Amino acid sequence: GAGVSQSPSNKVTEKGKDVELRCDPISGHTALYWYRQSLGQGLEFLIYFQGNSAPDKSGLPSDRFSAERTGGSVSTLTIQRTQQEDSAVYLCASSLAIGYETQYFGPGTRLLVL
């Protein structure tokens, strides 16, 4: 596609429920990144993929968070048993490759946990 797309745009859920956030990167981009943007916390790196592989998962805030990427394209970020502190905007970005390449961002998913 022309740009990075994310769905849903907004998600409201109840505490304890699971949510799935989707990212569709720019066609041909092998690298994909997830960031979280919280009020007062700035932008926090969560995880990256090179192809379908995520070599470093240490940025994920807890074991309730997981991510996968299939076919070197679409990625899903899953949050299990959501907590109120998970409320944030989740941004996805893609780039041609890992390294110094410019990252292009999607519009984000705003998650609100009640």
Partner 1 sequence: AQTVTQSQPEMSVQEAETVTLSCTYDTSENNYYLFWYKQPPSRQMILVIRQEAYKQQNATENRFSVNFQKAAKSFSLKISDSQLGDTAMYFCAFIVNYGGSQGNLIFGKGTKLSVKP
- Tell me whether residue 14 or residue 39 sits nearer to partner 1 (CB atom): 39
Say which residues have a Cβ less than 8 Å from residue 20's Cβ, sequence separation at least 6: 76, 77, 78
State the Cα–Cα distance between residues 11 and 105, nearest whole angstrom.
Answer: 19
**What value does the CA radius of gyration of the chain take, rounded to a whole number of Å?**
13
Q: Which two tokens stand for residue 17?
A: 């429920």
Residues 23-52 that bind partner 1 (CB under 8 A): 31, 33, 35, 42-43, 45, 48
- Tell me whether residue 80 or residue 107 sits nearer to partner 1 (CB atom): 107
Residues at the interface with partner 1 (CB under 8 A): 31, 33, 35, 42-43, 45, 48, 55-56, 59, 89, 91, 93, 95, 97-108, 110
